[in-house]
Structure 1
Amino acid sequence: MLSLRAYAKDIELEREHPLSSEPLRIDYLVIKKRHDVYVDNAIGRDYRTYNIIEYKNPNDELNVDVLWKVIGYTCIFKSLGKTVDEIKASEITISIFRAAKPVKLFKNLREKGVRVKEQDPGVYKVYGMIDIPISIVVISELRDSSLKALSVMRKKADEDTVRQFLEEASKYTEPGDKRFADAVLQISTMSNKELYDKLKGDTSMCEALRELMADELKDAENKGVELGIEKGIVQGIEQGIEQGIEQGIEQRDFDKISDMLRRGKKPEEIAEFCDYPLDQILDVQNKLK
């Protein structure tokens, strides 16, 4: 940079400055909405065509740098259209979901002249950073009854809300709905172990839990059988089943547990959902090694 040579002692040039120590991995959800559809709930009323969704783990910090990183990812997404300006900035929104209110972030933004306004209970709009609308959703403060799936994923979830979610989700029939409900259930149970232990003692709630897990367990059973056939170890599976029965585990559940272990499920999670002692699940795990 010859035009800056007079300042050579005072400046430093970094050629191809790395953005991160590792390859940049953009990990977010994009909800694409049709123009003629209106999402009538607290988080979706301002949705446009492309809606960037970022969910922050309760243990992850949400500060001004994280916020700018999400904005940066959004700008990269906007630039990825097949033609110039195919994805228009005016058709994008950003929503960041977090369990608790980021008090320090809001204070920091306001000190910088950025306006933060609560539009609905738990939904905060951020004005003055970029033209793209930004929402920060505080899950613990949501009051919209249609957003139970979000509310049950936080720690110390309300018992009545969890019960309502389980009852509703157990009636889902569409594969996509059931798959999403299962994902929510896994997060919810890990965040609220004591509550789910209590609900397992309730006959109706226990049945709802089993209904939600039915497809996943059935799929695990089928895949376990297919895997055994493909590997030519049908005899080994039969022996394993017999051993499982000797342990007091039904043949069908042994197949399910075996495949769930192969798919990376933790023994603690399997024991909780299948309602068997952890040591029996660990015995099955040892026999698969």
Structure 2
Amino acid sequence: MKGGSMACYNSYAHQWHPAFFASWQIEFQEESGELTFKNEHMIGTKPKQIDVLVIKKSVNKTIKKNIGRIFRMHNIIEYKSPEDYLSIDDFYKCYGYVCFYKSDGNKQNEINISEITLTLVSSGFPRNLVKHLKQVRGWKVEKIERGIYYVSGNIFPIQIINTKKLSKEKNLWLKSLNLHLESKDMVNSLIQEYDEHKDEKLYNSAMDIIVKNNIRIFKEVNENMLCAALEDLIKERLEREVKIALDEAVSKAVNKEVNIAVDKAVSQTTDNILNALEEIHNQIPISEIRKKYHLSEAEWIRMEKLALY
């Protein structure tokens, strides 16, 4: 894809990333107090962007969540949207991110390479990449559980997550970041869980993109529940847009009133100056002129000088 098509694709694909970042945090909600999540983390003075960076708050804390058991202190996450795929070159780019991140400390060897992990997330299984890792790198790729594969043989831990194959019970939100949801049970679970958390931004962000790309099955499951979910999402978006529009309108109105007031003040000041000068020439008593125009002594002295010209 080139030119406008590529720009359009990048714009559309980018919509999935906020939903992924939200879903990733939802998956770790029970242990969120142990982790810090950073979206689109920049490395170095000439930034290279990591999709998600997860930092453990305690080096001794073991993460129990299935997609986080591999975690060490610093955990780099690369996400590919459902329209994209995980290629061999993507792997080496992310491998480079790990190396850049390791070297980006404030002092020598501040970040230990053994305390970094790499997680590669894709909706499809990256067969060519896995074949490359096995045959070219000589590494072992082992399925740990549904949708989760550990790569061993490298200096730091690597895992590959195939979101389509994840467990609905364990990873509902990551699994649902899909263009073609087929399980009505899963849609029911999504709507039910969303309804319990509809005031939380993470759930709104994730549900927004899931519903947009799977409207048909949501309607089939329960149109009333879909309408309620959509109503909440639309309401929040409208409120946000109205606030932005209102802020802009208020700002314009304030600026307009300020400009009018300034113009009026300048005009009034000009009139006062001309009137005062005219009255000086008409030999009106000084005390009366000063009193009428509330002039200070310094202002009056300047006025007298102007009157001499």
Question: Is the TM-score greater than 0.5?
Answer: yes
SS at match of 1:87: coil
Q: 1:180 aligns with which of 189, 198, 202?
A: 202
Which residue matches 1:103? 127
Percent identity of the aligned residues? Answer: 26
Q: Distance in 1 between matches of 2:117 and 2:234?
A: 34
Q: Distance in 2 between matches of 1:145 and 1:213?
A: 28
Which residue matches 1:203? 224
Q: CA deviation at 1:84?
A: 1.8
Q: Is the 8 A contact 2:85 2:122 kept in 1?
A: no
Q: 1:30 aligns with which of 50, 53, 68?
A: 53
SS at match of 1:53: strand
Amino acid paired to 1:202 = E
Distance 1:159 1:224, change over 3 A: farther
2:139 matches 1:114: yes
Distance 1:125 1:78, change over 3 A: same
Q: 2:251 aligns with which of 214, 225, 230?
A: 230
- Kindly report the root-mean-square deviation, in angstroms, between the aligned alpha carbons of the 2 structures: 2.4
Where do residues 10-159 of structure 1 align in structure 2 (5 Å cutoff)? Answer: 25-35=48-58, 36-112=60-136, 113-128=138-153, 130-143=154-167, 145-157=169-181, 158-159=183-184
Which residue matches 2:190? 165
Matched residue count: 206
Distance 1:27 1:170, change over 3 A: same
Greater relative contact order, per chain length (Cα 8 Å cut-off, separation 6+): 2
SS at match of 2:170: helix
Distance 1:40 1:207, change over 3 A: same
Deviation sequence 1:80-123 (CA, Å, 0-9, x none): 11222222212111111100111222222222222110011100
Amino acid paired to 1:227 = E
Q: Distance in 2 between matches of 1:41 and 1:67?
A: 24
Q: CA deviation at 1:197?
A: 4.4
Q: Highest Rg: 1 or 2? A: 2
Q: CA deviation at 1:212?
A: 4.5
Distance 1:66 1:213, change over 3 A: same
Amino acid paired to 2:50 = D
What 5-or-longer segments of structure 2 have no aligned partner?
1-45, 255-309
Q: Distance in 1 between matches of 2:100 and 2:117?
A: 14
Q: Higher helix proportion, which one?
A: 2
Deviation sequence 1:2-24 (CA, Å, 0-9, x none): xxxxxxxxxxxxxxxxxxxxx87
Distance 1:152 1:232, change over 3 A: same
What 5-or-longer segments of structure 1 have no aligned partner?
1-22, 234-289
SS at match of 1:27: strand
